[in-house]
Structure 1
């Protein structure tokens, strides 16, 4: 058991960050694809069910799908991972607080993954890492 724990302690963060990035990217990408499959229905959901405060439904729908399309691509590439994680944490908070508060078990999973990415970054297998290496020379 001690050897197993020691071995697990040696797993590089990069190997953990890759599936985190892919998992979060998949959640938001799939949401964007659902909205784009029927845009009229998506806008109607924002108007009748989601009712995001202070933002007109059409603008909220465009904002949501824009984030849900761009953030996953950036996460998969490992580019601007920390700012993207912060934006998605904000979006998750809005969803949890204003739209689906009963879905907190799902949202806390998203938040946990995003917090790791926010605090630790994308790992060494990322464009963030390559750019940081180049700038530090």
Structure 2
């Protein structure tokens, strides 16, 4: 589902790693996508996660696929369950995610990518 689904989340919340938008109002479609993501993450973590923080306990390709989704949730301050928010925080603190973000910020073609006309704060995770 992650590779081709969640169209409303992708369209309404373009990928950006620069800041966190405040006051973004998700559409019903985005809320439906978030509910499905929450369901998938909850099932994977509860069924296969064991004691690890990732979907299947240890870091896996599933987590790689969901990193952009986690970034969108963080970047648009989207409403998610506490377990979902914890999984997003795990991504934001992960050294591989942080390195990926740093590479993405090295060159910007637009000084304010995907401007939303909303108030914003610095990126929510560590640099």
**What TM bracket, shorter-length normalisation?**
under 0.3
TM-score normalised to structure 1 length: 0.24
TM-score normalised to structure 2 length: 0.25
Larger RCO, structure (CA 8 Å, separation 6 or more): 2
Q: In proportion to residue count, which structure has more helix?
A: 1
